[in-house]
Amino acid sequence: SSEVLEAIEKVIEDVLKSLAQKKAPVLTVAKRSDWRNVKFTASVGLQMVPRCTTKQIRSDCPRSASKFARMLKILSMIYRMVQSNTYATKRDIYYSDTLLFGSQLVVDNIINDISCMLKIPRRSLHILSTVNGFVAGNLSYTEEDGTKVNCTCGATAVTVPSNVQGIKNLISHAKFMLIVEKDATFQRLLDDDFCNRMSPCIMITGKGIPDLNTRLFVRKLWDSFQIPIFTLMDADPHGVEIMCIYKYGSVSMSFEAHHLTVPSIKWLGLLPSDLERLNIHKDVLIPFTKQDQNKLASLQKRPYIAYQPMWKKELEIMAASKLKAEIQVLTSLSSHYLSRVYLPNKLQFGGWI
């Protein structure tokens, strides 16, 4: 906490020095969404380069003055929370001054900018994210406040903990972890008792693009158990991108890559080549939109795809067919095909890449 307070004090000192010299105060932040500020290493994923390009948030420029004010407001809130050892959600911060912030997205971006600027992980800023993820399976742990959590597969899942760093006493006999893209598929596998049917496992879903906590949790489980992690995604560019976020991270959060990525993650399904192999009828596949084509073209240029020749091949199959498929397409073969045929065969015979 003293590190956070010192870092904020340094920023405010610089603002006061500028004012004393009758200069307009300026905040300097990294260009987090710029691919030129990111390097790729197979062992970590996408990392921000040490000397990245920056932009200035000026207090005397009409275009950036409001962002300058918003950043100071949030810095002051963080400072008070760290001092008093209290916490707030990103939603709380937005509602503290909706007129100043304008939208939740503005708040989310500023919090990430501040975390990057101070070089302090977001969870140390006493700001809690809204948790979307669910976990189920052979896992138990104790939360920071002493609450014991048992995720043993039933019909309901457990919400991913809001303070991943604080959990302890993690126990599991799981043989593997399965990250499921969509909540509907996750629930279907829960209903089919998938976690216990084949061998004990842990299942996680971020319900689409994973939030920070879900990614931190996947990394924590990997550090704790070192068991294989597989992903089950739609056979479309969006699903592939979500899988890449878990495996290699995202450009905008590349400054936190070491805590968020698990480069050993494997792509279990749904593979574009599976659609041909299983004779999935073209009638149940979905034609690409222009957006899909653009997303796929962008993915094919990403630095990590060059390290994954098998992935490259699958993306080429997708590009050639211009068709995509949701995991639910397997129900066209039989209602329990996913949990009783597709996944057991893949896991038993090594059908991942």
Contacts 24+ apart (CB under 8 A), 56-61: 56/26, 56/27, 56/28, 57/26, 57/27, 57/28, 57/29, 58/24, 58/26, 59/24, 59/25, 59/26, 60/24
3-state secondary structure of 248: helix
| Catalytic residue list contains 95 | yes
Q: What radius of gyration, in Å, describes the C-alpha atoms of the chain?
A: 22
Alpha-carbon gap, residue 68 to 228, rounded angstroms? 45
**The tokens of 197 are what?**
């049917």
Q: How far apart are CA 88 and CA 291, in angstroms?
A: 36
Q: Is the peptide bond before 270 cis (omega within 30 degrees of 0)?
A: yes
Q: Which of 79, 95, 304, 307 is catalytic?
A: 95
DSSP strand pairing (140-142 vs 168-171): antiparallel
Under 8 Å between Cβ of 237 and 231: no
Q: 83 Cβ partners below 8 Å, 6+ apart?
A: 5
Query: Which residues are marked as active site?
Result: 95
